[in-house]
């Protein structure tokens, strides 16, 4: 008798979890506009007129609930890898928040270092951020020069969700 009661409780708990998951999925899907998915500027405000001259690139491009955050460097933030990493992450976080996301919703980060000797020092700053329960997948590569300036020591781009 006790065995049947446990099975019933587990079965009901499983059904409740599935139903709750469906509600969560439906709630998350509502952030996506109905109908055809379109590529858009995630930071553009609804009703804002489109620029007359096309931009070279967008800071954050959205497709459905996925955000593609453009590569950023901030070489004028200071001469050290720690200062530049902090400034780049601050700028990326600001772009995510303006687009309705956060660092906790980052799925993937690409880090570009001018010198791999800076990896441990960059990583020390990177690890101080709140990435949520599951940190993003990350790639870190050395590049001959980071775009934007010869003194840019680090550049980062990200993929996140809303």
Q: What is the DSSP string of 75-122?
A: GGG-SSHHHHHHHHHHHHHHHHHHTT--GGGEEEEEEEES-GGGHHHH
Two tokens at 46? 């609804």
**Percentage of the chain lying above the pLDDT 70 cut:** 76
Residue 160 pLDDT > 80, yes or no? yes
Two tokens at 159? 């993929």
pLDDT band at 33 (very low <50, low <70, confident <90, very high): low
Residue 157 pLDDT > 50, yes or no? yes
pLDDT of residue 19: 42
Residue 139 pLDDT > 80, yes or no? yes
Q: Name residues whose C-beta falls within 8 Å of residue 115's C-beta, 6 or more positions apart in sequence.
A: 142, 153
Give me the mean pLDDT over the 22-34 stretch.
45
Which H/E stretch holds residue 125?
helix 119-126
Instruction: Quote the pTM value.
Output: 0.73
pLDDT band at 144 (very low <50, low <70, confident <90, very high): confident
Give the tens place of pLDDT for each residue, 54-113.
Answer: 778 888 999 999 999 999 999 888 899 999 999 999 999 999 999 999 999 999 999 999
Give me the mean pLDDT over the 17-24 stretch.
42
pLDDT band at 118 (very low <50, low <70, confident <90, very high): very high
Please answer whether residues 103 and 132 qualify as being in contact, where contact means their C-beta atoms are separated by less than 8 angstroms: yes
Interatomic CA distance for residues 46 and 35, integer angstroms? 17
Q: Which residue has the tokens 């959205």?
A: 62
Residue 22 pLDDT > 80, yes or no? no
Map residue 69 onto helix, strand or coil.
strand
pLDDT of residue 34: 60
Residue 44 pLDDT > 70, yes or no? yes
Which H/E stretch holds residue 23?
helix 2-29
Q: What is the dihedral of CA 84, 90, 93, 99, to 10 degrees?
A: -110
pLDDT of residue 102: 97
């Amino acid at each position: 008798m006790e065995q049947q009661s446990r099975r019933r409780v587990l079965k009901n708990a499983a059904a409740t979890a599935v139903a709750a998951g469906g509600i969560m999925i439906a709630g998350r899907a509502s952030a996506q506009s109905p109908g055809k998915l379109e590529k858009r500027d995630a930071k553009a405000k609804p009703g804002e007129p489109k620029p007359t001259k096309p931009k070279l690139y967008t800071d954050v491009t959205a497709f459905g609930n996925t955000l593609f955050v453009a590569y950023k460097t901030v070489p004028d933030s200071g001469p050290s890898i720690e200062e530049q990493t902090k400034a780049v992450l601050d700028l990326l976080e600001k772009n995510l928040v303006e687009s309705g996301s956060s660092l906790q919703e980052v799925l993937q980060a690409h880090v570009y270092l001018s010198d791999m000797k800076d990896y441990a020092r960059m990583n020390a700053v990177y690890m101080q951020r709140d990435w949520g329960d599951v940190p993003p997948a990350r790639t870190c590569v050395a590049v001959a020069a980071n775009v934007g300036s010869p003194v840019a020591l680090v550049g980062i781009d990200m993929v996140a969700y809303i």
